[in-house]
Chains A and B, each alone.
Chain A
């Protein structure tokens, strides 16, 4: 068996690596090169312009505005989603009222399903669904507000540049939080019950239990969640494209949307690729920073 090991490994690895090379690495490399041309995407004529695209991008206030929104998302989306996810997961898994056994609230199985449902919907469905919910005339958000007499809060929703960004953010949190509830729940259920029992005997409060026991023991999962959410926050294109296309007045614009418009509305593939490259390095550095900052020794529970 020993002699045949490498051919066997290669037989499994090479096709996958090959596909990865052709469909992931090569397009990345192409993007870097196209970013240094003035290619329009409508013909095969192009010339190399060096770093001109990047210089122009640096001065482009629309791109800056879009990146700013990505940066806001980068801070807010993981923070809100993780906090909410942790809170809900601990209610479902260790928040039960029974003093004797550590368990979730009553009906937690049902809630788990409710929270997880958005995860099985595609982004397109979520976007269209919420666009209708936010419809100022017939959407259930405003109808609900009016039904309880809060007419003055029933605004233009996605039509109002002061509100649109926050409404989109809310949808992103809604769409993502279910997955992290399940993820954190799985991590929590692997925490030995006797730790909680010991804490209960010492009379710790719920909050102390959450912050002193649960959180440190699922920290590993939290940092993975952080990185995933950061990557989602730096993208955000699909939901924005479906719900607002970056409007009104660029108030929900993200770098992905700007890149799409530049490539397909303005027919400037070179410039759009340059945006892609900027976003690539942005994502890369955010990921590295996040991994470094959250790095910690793993706690062995067994």
Chain B
């Protein structure tokens, strides 16, 4: 019987061949080689402040996800109007990393990338490998359609911060995202419930909701990191923005600060008192959000993409609304209205692009009032361009985000350790949240597990460390 023999030969043969293969040649083609790139550059003038070469082709790759690709095509049409001689190549893919990694290794990346989705390339690593163009120049040129203002002056406060690495801006985060606790305004109106502004009120409301036969909470058990957001938010509001700063900067014991302890203790109550929908630990984000839309749970933690993501299954008149996390008490450093708002949806210009100035110029078009209004109209998401949403009509969820941002004002906060060190949130904090919210670990064990993850990153030299202040 030869099946067995063939198997054995294959295995042995492979081993032998592998050990004999010529070395340098093979790494050469797998890891790429270094070649200089001629980058297109034209003459700078008032109409062309970035010095784009007018006829240089522009290679654009867009993530075809929640926002689709139509908005990007509209931006490219604007670019074509400014540079009629330029040829714009538009590609839209779902798997950004798989599509583009080989091009980065070859030293032949596109000029403009929407590096997003679950297969996005690790931003921290791209920066560490010096693969991205510093976008500072873009910020300091005049806005496309707001006379007398630089691009920087047209943006919301804090909009560029999430793209900064050691003082340089490598990522343009274009969409403005709000993270909070979501509920159905209609449901609350029907039942006569009111969203609790303090933790005690929240727990009292949970008790009421549970008594009515409904589960107060559900969460994405398969991606439990969604629940790390309200915990950290609670801590930041209690103890101030330093909490988030310390976490981002990998300060020793940042996860076990007084604020984090208070927050974890508070949130443990919804676990202990069984205020979480049965089976939640086994649901993924879509499944849990659908349970929530079906009215099986009252609250869910998510970002402002929720409305778009759930559009197909949200009942008529559901009226989804975002709210800040409840305050722990009167001693909180930030007011109740403070909410986590951040620029999200990353766009980059590779350092080795053939037409980096064209890539930045396309960003300048996106950041124009016209480009931003068009984006918000098409994809129902805010942008970082101040005032671009004025005069547009909103869906209920988006309207609540606009209100929340306005109410939050300067008290808005954010953290970006997940941009610096993707693994820490996606792998390590995620696992710790899973144990905590399914009731298998105590608040102290939960924070210790998060801290252990942060410590592992901190002492691992293969992660380039970033600091912000």
Interface residues of A (CB under 8 A from B): 21, 24-30, 32-34, 37-46, 131, 134-137, 142, 154-161, 220-221, 223-224, 227, 244-245, 247-250, 261, 264-268, 271, 280, 283-284, 287-288, 291, 298
Contact = CB atoms under 8 A, between A and B. Distances in A.
B191 interface: no
B282 A29 contact: no
B240 interface: no
Contacts of B129: 40, 42-43, 45
Interface string B286-321: 010001000010000000000000000000000000
22 contacts: A28-B17, A28-B18, A29-B21, A33-B23, A34-B27, A37-B31, A42-B125, A43-B129, A131-B284, A135-B287, A137-B279, A156-B281, A224-B1, A224-B3, A227-B7, A245-B222, A248-B435, A261-B427, A266-B125, A283-B11, A287-B8, A291-B4
Contacts of A227: 4, 7
A248 B438 contact: yes
Contacts of B291: 137
B106 interface: yes
A248 B431 contact: yes
Contacts of A136: 278-283
Given A39-B31, A224-B3, 12 more contacts: A29-B18, A32-B18, A37-B31, A136-B278, A136-B281, A136-B282, A159-B279, A220-B4, A248-B222, A261-B423, A267-B122, A267-B125
Contacts of A131: 284
B30 A158 contact: no
A298 B282 contact: no
Interface residues of B, number: 62
Given A137-B287, A244-B222, A37 B281 contact: no
A6 B426 CA distance: 57
Interface string B422-441: 11001100110011001010
Interface in B32-49: 32-34
Nearest to A220: B1
Contact of A248 (B1, B4, B18, B281): B281
B330 interface: no
Contacts of B29: 30
B434 A44 contact: no
Nearest to A164: B282
B462 A268 contact: yes
A249 B434 contact: yes
Contacts of A135: 279, 282-283, 287
Task: State the main secondary structure of chain A at its contact with B.
Answer: helix
A159 B282 contact: yes
Nearest to B32: A44
A271 B462 CA distance: 10
Contact of A134 (B27, B30, B31, B282): B282
B393 interface: no
Contacts of A32: 18-19, 21
A92 B215 CA distance: 49
A159 B218 CA distance: 13
A43 B131 contact: yes
Contact of B7 (A224, A280, A298): A224
A25 B21 contact: yes
A159 to B, nearest CB: 3
Contacts of A41: 101, 105
A280 to B, nearest CB: 8
B107 interface: yes
A224 B29 CA distance: 37
B31 A159 contact: no
Given A30-B26, A227-B4, A160 B31 contact: no
Contacts of B15: 284
Contacts of B4: 220, 223-224, 227, 291
A156 B129 CA distance: 42
A280 B19 CA distance: 12
